Chain A
């Protein structure tokens, strides 16, 4: 597996199939990249689990922090490691001891450990390194193009209409009467004439 460059299909299939993501190194501090990535992925419907031994007892978006991967107590589809390259190997080794292995180990933008990746891949786990799942999700959905980013995707299809969009809400301010005053007057005149 070449980890210098990933085909979009590889990233897309990961983001389309994983449901639960344990984020190792998630921060409750709202200016840290791990915080916004956690929040963004949670809002896109992923079942997010914050892992950080220093934050146990606190919660991130209502999800309680756990100290370690073993403490999650249930299988997770993906482990997203928000740590520097030098801290990757112990997390991968810990993941390989879980009773149910994750399908994917993802290392954040700036993080890369080829030896750890090889170990995970030998156990049948897909690996992504030096990428941010929030950026990749935004890019492949082209949402990130609002920031002038080259999504490197093309489409001639209309995106689905947002079902919770304001245009579809019935909760709008009504202008008094239900129809226009002229049509009300015409209706009244008609009644009076007959």
Chain B
């Protein structure tokens, strides 16, 4: 008998969770504890030596977090995952396993502004050098490859403009260069796009956004696709060489196709320390149970609102890949046939002033710096999320001064359109 592959919605509810063996609790309990008792000294030693599976200390792992990890790994089609305190933490922990000082990684220019900052400034102080490339010109990725390149980093749906990335084309560049492709899948979620199916080796998320989905918890996750051979050429010593802190264990040799997730846990999370609170893990898990329902509604609403805006006389342009006229419409049909996400930008004929006035006149849309909430959100990226970029970089990142970003919630679309209509009219 061939194993049956459960559907996405079944996995969203069940993967990783089962009734608690001790109490029978059906919802996943919040294991709000710092530490776990060892059976005996030998058990403790074998856990510390990575010889047994088990819990030690919540900075390294926690049973509530483990349910979240298995669930996201299952939804993404990965071998394993590691939950961390934020999407930013996921990026640091991921790259720490791959880069040594003086190494390089290639990143797409169209990224969340916070990631651009992290890569440009903080990572520079670690000696990790980012080299930018343009997702609209695949050859720019090929040209950026050098012998020091250790990874390629892209977003599946790019923030803030909602551009769809040709993941397969960039995966081919990564394969040829012998480096892993890391895809930030935050804005798509695995409901819309599963980057591993298109050649990604590592997927990272800000769980804070659509996966958690309710705007109540910060979190991040790293998913290991189990596809990359870390042993080749000694390029990734964190995975291929004996680890002195674990008595000479080689992570890849010991853990096979989930070695990257283990390295992130036992070398990254253990030492850098950005652990996710089990309470946040519980809230995010609860959110994920309804991900397929919410995500479809987010996308359907976003499409209706993008269409409304594109017809409105005050609007200069709408950048949403779900519109058939959009530059990324072909890629959206290929990669995200269920919907092109719910975060997009538009510009107003009245420029910066009209954008500011719109934001202040909206009554249902909340003006704040987040996306992927049940509530509809609005922001002016140039003065907030992308404010630390210079003007040219703002335009390149799709966050010019006249741009307004929306994150469409799951309210009734008629009410959202009415709110935009009154705010645009006034």
Please indicate which of the listed interface residues A147, A148, A162 has the most CB atoms of chain B within 10 Å of its own CB: A148
Q: Which residues of B contact A144 (CB under 8 A)?
A: 53
- Residues of chain B from 274 to 302 with CB closer than 8 A to chain A in the complex: none
Asked if A74 CB lies within 8 Å of chain B CBs, one says no
Asked if B320 CB lies within 8 Å of chain A CBs, one says no
In the complex formed, the residue of B with least CB distance to A151 is B70
Asked if A155 CB lies within 8 Å of chain B CBs, one says yes
Binds A, one of B182-190, B241-249, B383-391: B241-249
Query: Per-position contact with A for B21-49: 1 when CB-CB < 8 Å, else 0?
Result: 11010000000000001000000001001
Q: Which residues of A contact B67 (CB under 8 A)?
A: 145
Q: Which residues of A contact B73 (CB under 8 A)?
A: 148-150
Asked if A72 CB lies within 8 Å of chain B CBs, one says no
Q: How far is the CB of A157 from chain B (nearest CB, A)?
A: 7
Interchain CA distance A150-B262 in the complex, whole Å: 12
Given A149-B80, A161-B22: A31 touches B261 (CB 8 Å cut-off) = no
Interchain CA distance A162-B52 in the complex, whole Å: 17
A-B contacts at CB below 8 angstroms, number: 114
Binds A, one of B11-19, B94-102, B133-141: B11-19
In the complex formed, the residue of A with least CB distance to B221 is A148
User: Judging by beta carbons under 8 Å apart, are B54 and A146 in contact?
Assistant: yes
Asked if B254 CB lies within 8 Å of chain A CBs, one says yes
Q: Which residues of A contact B392 (CB under 8 A)?
A: none
**Total contacting residues, chain A, CB less than 8 A:** 38
Query: Per-position contact with B for A1-45: 1 when CB-CB < 8 Å, else 0?
Result: 000000111000000000000000000001101011001100000
In the complex formed, the residue of A with least CB distance to B69 is A148
Given A110-B253, A152-B74: A147 touches B61 (CB 8 Å cut-off) = yes
Q: Could you tell me the dominant secondary structure of chain A's interface residues?
A: loop
Binds B, one of A52-60, A96-104, A135-143, A183-191: A135-143
Q: Which residues of B contact A143 (CB under 8 A)?
A: 53
User: Judging by beta carbons under 8 Å apart, are A155 and B253 in contact?
Assistant: no
User: Judging by beta carbons under 8 Å apart, are B19 and A158 in contact?
Assistant: yes
Interchain CA distance A73-B18 in the complex, whole Å: 44
Query: Per-position contact with A for B236-273: 1 when CB-CB < 8 Å, else 0?
Result: 00000000001111000111101001100100000000
Given A33-B253, A36-B46, A39-B51: A7 touches B79 (CB 8 Å cut-off) = no
Asked if B82 CB lies within 8 Å of chain A CBs, one says yes
Query: Per-position contact with B for A110-144: 1 when CB-CB < 8 Å, else 0?
Result: 10000000000000000000001001001000111
Asked if A67 CB lies within 8 Å of chain B CBs, one says no
Asked if B66 CB lies within 8 Å of chain A CBs, one says yes
User: Judging by beta carbons under 8 Å apart, are B81 and A148 in contact?
Assistant: yes
Interchain CA distance A35-B69 in the complex, whole Å: 28
In the complex formed, the residue of B with least CB distance to A36 is B51
Asked if B415 CB lies within 8 Å of chain A CBs, one says no
User: Judging by beta carbons under 8 Å apart, are A31 and B248 in contact?
Assistant: yes
Q: Which residues of B contact A151 (CB under 8 A)?
A: 16, 70
User: Judging by beta carbons under 8 Å apart, are A154 and B14 in contact?
Assistant: yes
Interchain CA distance A106-B18 in the complex, whole Å: 30
Interchain CA distance A39-B49 in the complex, whole Å: 13
User: Judging by beta carbons under 8 Å apart, are A149 and B258 in contact?
Assistant: yes
Query: Per-position contact with A for B2-20: 1 when CB-CB < 8 Å, else 0?
Result: 1100100011001110111
User: Judging by beta carbons under 8 Å apart, are B21 and A161 in contact?
Assistant: yes
Asked if A176 CB lies within 8 Å of chain B CBs, one says no
Interchain CA distance A30-B48 in the complex, whole Å: 12
Q: How far is the CB of A59 from chain B (nearest CB, A)?
A: 16
> Which of B10, B66, B79, B256 touches A146 (beta carbons < 8 Å)?
B66
Interchain CA distance A143-B6 in the complex, whole Å: 20
User: Judging by beta carbons under 8 Å apart, are B3 and A145 in contact?
Assistant: no
Q: How far is the CB of B330 from chain A (nearest CB, A)?
A: 32
Interchain CA distance A146-B65 in the complex, whole Å: 9
Q: Which residues of B contact A132 (CB under 8 A)?
A: 256
Interchain CA distance A9-B37 in the complex, whole Å: 34
Given A40-B52, A158-B24, A161-B21: A147 touches B262 (CB 8 Å cut-off) = yes
**Can you list 27 A-B contacts (CB < 8 A)?**
A31-B249, A35-B51, A36-B46, A39-B46, A109-B256, A132-B256, A143-B53, A147-B66, A147-B262, A148-B65, A148-B66, A148-B81, A148-B261, A149-B70, A149-B80, A150-B74, A150-B79, A150-B81, A151-B16, A154-B6, A154-B14, A155-B18, A157-B18, A158-B20, A158-B24, A160-B21, A167-B22
Given A7-B2, A148-B61, A154-B14: 12 more A-B contacts, CB < 8 Å:
A31-B246, A40-B52, A142-B18, A144-B53, A145-B16, A147-B261, A150-B74, A154-B11, A154-B18, A158-B19, A160-B21, A161-B21
The 6 tightest CB contacts between A and B, nearest first, are A148-B69, A150-B73, A36-B51, A159-B21, A158-B19, A149-B80
| Interface residues in chain B, defined as those with a beta carbon under 8 Å from any beta carbon in chain A | 1-3, 6, 10-11, 14-16, 18-22, 24, 37, 46, 49, 51-55, 61, 63, 65-67, 69-70, 73-74, 78-83, 246-249, 253-256, 258, 261-262, 265
| Interface residues in chain A, defined as those with a beta carbon under 8 Å from any beta carbon in chain B | 7-9, 30-31, 33, 35-36, 39-40, 109-110, 132, 135, 138, 142-152, 154-162, 165-167
